[in-house]
Amino acid sequence: MHETEGTNMSEEKHAWWKEVVCYQVYPQSFQDSNSDGIGDLRGMTERLPYLAKLGIDVIWLSPVYLSPMDDNGYDIADYRVIDPQYGNLEDFDKMLETAHGLGIKVIMDLVANHTSDEHWWFKESRKSRDNPYRDYYVWKDGKVAEDGTKLPPNNWESTFSGSAWQYDELTDQWYLHCFSVKQPDLNWESPSVRQEVCDLMSWWCDRGVDGFRFDVISMISKDQRFPDGKPKKNGFGEYGPYVTNGPRVHEFVQEMNEKVLSRYDIMTVGEAQGVTLEEARKYANAEGTELDMIFQFEHVSAWKTTAGAYIGKWGVNKPQMPKVRALLNKWQLGLEGYSWNSLFWNNHDQPRAVSRFGNDSPEWREVSAKMLACCLHLMKGTPYILQGEELGMTNMHFTSLDQCRDVEELGIYRQAVEEQGICTHEQMLAAFDNVARDNCRTPMQWDDSAFAGFSDAEPWIDVNPNYQEINAASQVDDPDSVFSFYRRLIELRHSMPIIVYGTYQPLLEDSEAIWAYRRELDGQAITVACNWTSETVDCDLWDERPGTPLVGNYPQHLPGKLQPYEAYVTLG
């Protein structure tokens, strides 16, 4: 899809979306222009020159559609209306026009697995069992206990805690919500639903957007038996095997591609929880019948042990580099010749990269942030930067539940602390420090003025207190800053086809400290080595083949060594 034949540089088919660097804007937290404490489209437009200076090519814009904001916009009430807190369609068009004028494309975040319960489709659907919109959603009869208690159709647990089913007294049935109770799942078995989604995608493409990031696209096809899931300790059951990569998911995505996606020169990426290499090769197949690439999440779930988690992902363990490396090496090698990789350390659902994978202490934050950038951006695939990642922004330190805004955090706190007593208040906040989604949603740190230059008013979520030390104003003109290092990596990708299209060969796979690999294309090679520890380690990669220094995060490389969190790259 959207590809042209490559030159003799490589057998790889060339495509513009393989050559770009994508930047995720979380609009609530990017820039406020009207002093209400919430980011908006006019504010985003004002900051586009900053992104142009960074050098990125594509913006992935998190949802700005009309929404009651139960899940910060991922609960959509109208796909063709901009939520008033962000502005209106005129503001959107102006932002899009300005971005295009700067050479930046914009892809929309499309949530098509579910809507808000305030969407008019759902309002109609719940009116009666014979309403024309009833089959737009998943409605089922429940069960009845011996004592007469009404029970849901099965034991599935919502991602945001509690049952994945909500009883509706008016029609005496239950509707499925794999996420919040205010996010009823659409029924993709209905041809009408699939046509509605195709129509709204065409509407946005005709408006000029450059593609879509599909939220939880791997969940749109459900096992129509709706069986009980494997029981969990908390009494609920796992829904994963029955709602992810379902029996008709590829049929549905191919239909979207045939009716809409293949008819525009756009970029598409699908969020695909639980995806395997085999499934990924289908979603992002080289023939272009589905999507351009997918997000897989194995490497951001690479805990040393689950014993440190109080429940599910909620724990204080950090991912261990050898396991993260093994997983990404698997995806680099496993998709070669079949599919295209997406490259990311963090996004709106994942904590800050330097806090999770690097070292966010004052001594090592900048150098480890640069190391992580180098390690990721020189792999094969399309890199994604979360707003503020290019500054080395860190996780928040939660001192009170009052600081939390995310429906997932509040739900797990209620379940684990208040209802089941699995962990204490202090333990839960410590887990929030490590993995909570609010970590990546704190306001963009533009300067050291009040509220970090994000707003003139108190923001909807607290600014990270370290904004006076970590901000864009102090970095954009500093040649040694994290920002400038990201800018250099982006320039290299734009100027060196080997970084885009070269093959990937893992090196030093037994090392506990060093992540190394080699890229090759048409007789050219680059060697990348990254020390993931705070100790100087031996590295003999360049003993026989020194090469020419290409990029690094230390002023001076020591022969035969890698300094703490050093990234060193050579050409040749």
Q: Which of 12, 32, 210, 215 is catalytic?
A: 215
Whether 140 contacts 176, CB under 8 Å: yes
Q: Where are the beta strands (DSSP E) in 21-121?
A: 22-25, 58-61, 65-66, 78-82, 105-111
Whether 457 contacts 450, CB under 8 Å: no
Q: Is 426 a catalytic residue?
A: no
- The 3 state secondary structure assigned to 498-547 is HHHHCEEEEECCCCCCEEEEEEEECCEEEEEEEECCCCCEECCCCCCCCC
User: 3-class SS at 60?
Assistant: strand
User: Angle 496-571-8 (CA atoms, 0-180°, nearest 5)?
Assistant: 45
Write the single-letter amino acid at 58: V
d(CA 157, CA 246): 18
d(CA 197, CA 136): 11
- Taking Cα atoms as reference points, which of 375, 346, 366, 372 lies closest to residue 434? 346
Write the single-letter amino acid at 445: Q
DSSP 296-340: --SGGG-BS-GGGEEETTEE-PPBPHHHHHHHHHHHHHHHTTT-E
- Taking Cα atoms as reference points, which of 319, 317, 220 lies closest to residue 273? 220
Sign of the dihedral defined by the CA atoms of residues 3, 327, 298, 431, in that order: negative
Q: Is 544 a catalytic residue?
A: no
Q: Where are the beta strands (DSSP E) in 236-390?
A: 267-271, 293-295, 309-311, 314-315, 340-343, 382-386
Whether 21 contacts 385, CB under 8 Å: yes
Q: Which of 83, 271, 279, 290 is catalytic?
A: 271
DSSP 103-127: T-EEEEEEE-SB--TTSHHHHHHTT
Q: Fill in the DSSP letter of residue 388.
A: T
Catalytic residues, by residue number, are: 215, 271
